[in-house]
């Protein structure tokens, strides 16, 4: 089965990504029915582990979103393991140099493109079961995160590493690295100029830029700027926002 995000990006379309911090198959199943193009299980900052990731993937299987994972760090064992578990894309945090990007690609790709160990215990039904190993290198997404000044200093070298499909921007850590408060929907002119540079440099190379956002309105603006994947908050944040709005809507009458 072809990777739907790749197809949409090649057609010039932007995609909307959901984010799972809650380790629950039920909440993953609910999120999967909301219309996302992809849904990412967050193993870095979410309250997820490998088994809850598998449960979330199983809950989402009968629904359209492409299953992806943000791994905790650039470590070969977990990168290969989430792919074996059925991830179609891996977002890897804190990629700061071309060497770190190459290490990420090496961990995510089978030989001859990398050094991923063979054992797709759950991913084998991907495409035609007997041909998973011949399609995985082409169809799974490798998405390094650009979120530090060091990464910006090395941006062109990182983007030139073969095997990178897209980059993903972490606005909180990016701001932190630049001496700014950590937050998502940023308006600082220097940050917006960085976003413009990231979009320009990725477009030159035929790869794509993604961004984590807090609000739908800001995500729409970022699509208009040129980002091809936008995430809106996460499941726990969206639940809180909806619950708070519901309470506030009736609080005055209840007082």
Residues that are catalytic: 45
How many other β-carbons are positioned within 10 Å of the β-carbon of residue 173? 18
Block residue for tokens 């932190």: 176
Label residues 148-172 b or e (16+ Cβ within 10 Å = b). Answer: beebbebbeebbebebbbbbbbbbb
Please list, in sequence order, all residues whose beta carbon lies within 8 angstroms of the beta carbon of residue 43, skipping any fewer than 6 positions away: 49, 50, 53, 69, 70, 71, 72, 78, 82
In 3D space, the residue among 47, 230, 132 whose CA is nearest the CA of residue 55 turns out to be: 47
- Measured in whole angstroms, the distance separating CA 44 from the mean position of its chain's CA atoms is 11
Q: What phi and psi, each to the nearest 5 degrees, are found at residue 168?
A: -130, 130
Please list, in sequence order, all residues whose beta carbon lies within 8 angstroms of the beta carbon of residue 190, skipping any fewer than 6 positions away: 178
- DSSP H or E run through 231: strand 229-232
How many angstroms separate the CA atoms of 185 and 195, rounded?
12
Task: Give, as one character, the DSSP assignment of residue 179.
Answer: T
């Amino acid at each position: 089965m072809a990777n739907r995000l790749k197809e949409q990006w090649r057609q010039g379309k932007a995609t909307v990504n959901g984010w799972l911090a809650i380790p629950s198959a039920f909440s993953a199943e609910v999120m999967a029915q909301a219309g996302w193009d992809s849904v990412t299980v967050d193993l870095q900052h979410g309250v997820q582990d490998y088994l809850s990731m598998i449960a979330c993937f199983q809950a989402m299987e009968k629904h359209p979103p492409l299953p992806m994972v943000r791994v905790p760090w650039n470590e070969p064992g977990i990168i290969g393991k989430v792919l074996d578990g059925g991830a179609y894309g891996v977002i890897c945090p804190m990629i700061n140099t071309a060497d770190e990007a190459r290490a990420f690609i090496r961990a995510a790709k089978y030989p001859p493109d990398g050094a991923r160990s063979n054992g797709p215990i759950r991913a084998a039904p991907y495409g035609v079961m007997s041909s998973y190993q011949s399609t995985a290198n082409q169809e799974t997404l490798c998405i390094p995160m650009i979120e530090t000044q060091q990464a910006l200093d090395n941006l062109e070298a990182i983007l030139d590493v073969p095997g990178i499909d897209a980059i993903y921007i972490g606005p909180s850590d990016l701001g932190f690295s630049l001496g700014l408060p950590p937050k998502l929907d940023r308006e600082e002119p220097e940050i917006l100029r960085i976003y413009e540079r990231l979009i320009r440099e990725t477009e030159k190379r035929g790869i794509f830029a993604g961004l984590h956002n807090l609000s739908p309105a800001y995500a729409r603006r970022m699509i208009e700027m040129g980002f091809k994947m936008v995430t809106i908050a996460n499941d726990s944040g969206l639940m809180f926002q909806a619950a708070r709005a519901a309470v506030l809507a009736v609080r005055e009458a209840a007082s």
